[in-house]
Amino acid sequence: MTAVSGDKQGGGVLVPARRIPAPPTVSPQARAFLSNPPQFAASPPPTDPTDKAAWRSYIEGGNRWLTDQMAASAQAFPHRIVTHRPAETPVYEVVPESLASDTAACAIFYVHGGAFIHGAGLAGAYMGTPLAGHAQMRAYCVDYRMPPDHPFPTGLEDAVAAYRWVLERHKPEDIAVAGGSAGGGLAASLVLKLRDLGLPMPGACVLATPEADLTESGDSFETNDTVDIVAQHRLTPSIGVYANGHDLKDPYLSPLFGDFRKGFPPTILTTGTRDLFLSNTVLMHRALLRAGVEAELHVWEAMPHGGFFGAPEDQEVLDEHARFIRKRLLKAWNPARSVR
């Protein structure tokens, strides 16, 4: 075997240019997705975090596309959406037609993803609809404010305010906080903030490929760069406009750096072997375990960031999330309970 010499400037391993085929170990739909990479963005994001006009234009265009895509995905799960405005920002209540009688008192508090800049309006509610449908449980999707006009910590503060409102309708042990990607990182930061504020903790947490470390220093940000056909590269530009000069190791920005020994709810984390955020998810899982928190980690073969967008494996992810939520929230179920 011939070793490939490292980069003399920075060490490491030099990887030759090569084509990575879709493996035979995934479904035909997943192979088709990997073999024909989609085009998710027509133009790169602005590089200047202070150019608000450029960011507004970029975000508006991306959010229109995202809303259409998420609305199409949500159609597979019949539901109705009720709009509430308890504070500065709307909360969309997703009520699936499949709502089960044994989950009437339960709720998912859903924090949408979108690189900290996309997912506004109904896009975020549509993102939470598949999980609500699988869990047969209502979901409250917070439409937190985002950059360029509302950088950190506005989104976190909006999520806290929305959670306080949900607490008026549901007991904390009947609530599962969930989020994916940037929303997964914000969901974890939200739980840390709730704990630090002395608010009642939720009964479960679902973190789907969370952006838990905004320094993006994990191994997969190098090994899965470009290999991940969905989130191809680091989120450096949007992180810059979101963080707004704050220390990226602040646990309210990067929950991976939080102290979980002070308490954190049982958590399920999901990712894929081609996910750019694989390291985020793995490191977060280990941090929770070291603190004695109940935590499950599920890793899917060849899955890029956010899934295969229509393959059977995507349903498996939702099934695991729903199973975990129902297991944690219904373990001490009392049929006499109802939504207050």
Judge whether residue 2 has pLDDT over 50: no
In this predicted structure, what is the pLDDT of residue 8?
52
Q: Where on the phi/psi map is residue 13: left (φ > 0), alpha (ψ -120 to 50), or beta?
A: beta
**Better-predicted residue by pLDDT, 3 or 244:** 244
Judge whether residue 6 has pLDDT over 60: no
Cβ neighbors of 158 (< 8 A, separation 6 or more) are: 87, 88, 89, 142, 144, 145
Over the chain, what is the mean pLDDT? Answer: 92
- pLDDT, tens only, 222-232: 999 999 999 99
In this predicted structure, what is the pLDDT of residue 64?
92
- pLDDT, tens only, 87-115: 889 999 999 999 989 999 999 999 999 99
30 in any annotated domain: no
Domain count, the chain: 1
36 in any annotated domain: no
Q: With bands split at pLDDT 50, 70 and 90, how would you rate the model's confidence at 9?
A: low
Region 69-83: mean pLDDT is 94
- pLDDT, tens only, 146-166: 999 999 999 999 999 999 999
Q: With bands split at pLDDT 50, 70 and 90, how would you rate the model's confidence at 338?
A: very low
In this predicted structure, what is the pLDDT of residue 44?
85
- CA–CA gap between residue 110 and residue 128 (Å, rounded): 6
Give backbone dihedrals phi and psi of 302, rounded to 5 degrees, phi first. 60, 5
- CA–CA gap between residue 292 and residue 135 (Å, rounded): 26
313 in any annotated domain: yes
In this predicted structure, what is the pLDDT of residue 331?
74
70 in any annotated domain: yes
Judge whether residue 333 has pLDDT over 50: no
In this predicted structure, what is the pLDDT of residue 79?
96
Query: Residue 316: is it exposed, middle or buried by C-beta count within 10 angstroms (0-12/13-18/19+)?
Result: middle
User: Do residues 117 and 147 touch, judged by C-beta distance below 8 A?
Assistant: yes
Two structure tokens written together for 212: 């838990």
Region 42-60: mean pLDDT is 89
Region 322-333: mean pLDDT is 84
DSSP assignment of 244-290:
TT--TT-TTT-GGGS-GGG----EEEEEETT-TTHHHHHHHHHHHHH
In this predicted structure, what is the pLDDT of residue 47?
85
- The fraction of the chain above a pLDDT of 70, given in percent, is 94
204 in any annotated domain: yes
Judge whether residue 339 has pLDDT over 50: no
293 in any annotated domain: yes
Provide the β-strand partners of residue 140.
93, 109
Cβ neighbors of 214 (< 8 A, separation 6 or more) are: 185, 239, 243, 248, 253, 254
In this predicted structure, what is the pLDDT of residue 336?
39
Instruction: Tell me the pTM.
Output: 0.93
Domain extent, residue 145, equals 43-327
Region 161-187: mean pLDDT is 98
Region 115-142: mean pLDDT is 96
CATH classification at residue 137: 3.40.50.1820
- pLDDT, tens only, 278-296: 999 999 999 999 999 999 9
Judge whether residue 189 has pLDDT over 50: yes
In this predicted structure, what is the pLDDT of residue 38?
79
Q: With bands split at pLDDT 50, 70 and 90, how would you rate the model's confidence at 1?
A: very low
16 in any annotated domain: no
Report DSSP state, residue 103: G
335 in any annotated domain: no
- pLDDT, tens only, 193-221: 999 999 999 999 999 999 999 999 999 99
